Structure 1
Amino acid sequence: MEKINQLKQYVSEQLSTDTTGHDYTHIQRVADLAKTISKKTEQSDLLIALTASYLHDVIDDKLVDDTNEKQKEVQSKLKELDYTSEQIDEVMDIITHMSYSANLKHHYELTINGQIVQDADRLDAIGAIGVARAMYFGGHFGDAIYDPAQMPRNDMDKSQYREHTTVINHFYEKLFKLPDLMNTSVAKQMADRRSQYMHDFVREFKDEWQGIH
């Protein structure tokens, strides 16, 4: 896993200034979750799963201005670390197609390794950490926490999804949907507890907002 150790340094440098909840600590949690899921999933390749886990936000269009240039940079980095062309192709396929926004209108069929990384990333978007990251992300972009008059949106394309909403609406527009979108049986089980926590949080939030208790 020397390749992974070198990759960690690169990714840490790339995301060192992030204040949106997509920093290196998020990456490390995704990698840890991917490792857990991979070990319990047949026909998975841990090297590919970990590599894609570490790189998935480096090329994210929420975080970089020129995604094409960043993708070329990532490919060059993988070549430098002696990944094969087949490995590089799979990693790039995963990280360019795994996001929630990329699958709003078309469900992209990922490899088993891609499914593992997608599940790991989505697990880190829900539960207690998911609540904290949603608030952190919304605060970074100046979004309102809640507006009862602003209803959650449905059936969005990527450009509509990228338009900012309230933090609480984000739970309905994305986060509550993620548990049902998990690919692996391992992730589905892990999502249950986290999902319950989110629903309890939003229910309590709305009660307190209304002064019920």
Structure 2
Amino acid sequence: MDIQQVEDFTKKQLANERTGHDFYHGQRVANLATKMYLQDNPAAHQDSRMVAIIRTGSFLHDTIDEKICPNPEKVIAQIKDLLPSVGFSELEIADILFTIQHM
């Protein structure tokens, strides 16, 4: 599963963000969350679906933040269209959406 489309979406959504919650913040969160998951789960692989879910949630978490996003519902709809095209299942999409909506 290639989440480059998620990264590109995040970059576009947060292109004008100047409060520190920009694409690079999401990238740092994704890298740290991945590192923590792999340390806690030594048998897990960098290319696992779970790592893709973690990284996707990390990248997307600020794209719907009401302090940054004027229309979170619109962006959530865009995310719902994006995630199946990347290869996520309905359950994985529900998990990602739950996570980013409850941070």
Task: Give the shorter-chain TM-score range.
Answer: 0.7 to 0.9
1:45-98 Cα shifts (integer Å, max 9, x gaps): 211111100110111111112211211111111122221100100000000002
Aligned partner of 2:55 among 34, 50, 56:
50
Task: State the partner residue of 1:36.
Answer: 35
Task: State the partner residue of 1:170.
Answer: none
By how many angstroms is 1:37 displaced? 0.5
- Between the aligned partners of 1:68 and 1:7, the Cα distance in structure 2 is 17
Aligned partner of 1:66 among 33, 48, 71:
71
- Between the aligned partners of 1:54 and 1:48, the Cα distance in structure 2 is 10
Task: State the partner residue of 1:5.
Answer: 4
Alignment length (residue pairs): 97
One-letter amino acid of the structure 1 residue matched with residue 35 of structure 2: T
Identity value in percent = 31
Q: Give TM-score scaled by structure 1 length.
A: 0.43
Q: Give TM-score scaled by structure 2 length.
A: 0.85
- Between the aligned partners of 2:4 and 2:67, the Cα distance in structure 1 is 26
Partner SS state of residue 40, structure 1: helix
- Between the aligned partners of 2:9 and 2:75, the Cα distance in structure 1 is 13
The residue correspondences of 1:155-170 to structure 2 (distance < 5 A) are none
1:160-187 Cα shifts (integer Å, max 9, x gaps): xxxxxxxxxxxxxxxxxxxxxxxxxxxx
* CA RMSD between the two structures: 1.7
Instruction: Structure 1: state its 5+ residue gaps.
Output: 99-213
1:119-165 Cα shifts (integer Å, max 9, x gaps): xxxxxxxxxxxxxxxxxxxxxxxxxxxxxxxxxxxxxxxxxxxxxxx
Task: State the partner residue of 1:78.
Answer: 83
One-letter amino acid of the structure 2 residue matched with residue 85 of structure 1: E
- The structure whose RCO (Cα within 8 Å, separation 6+) is larger is 2
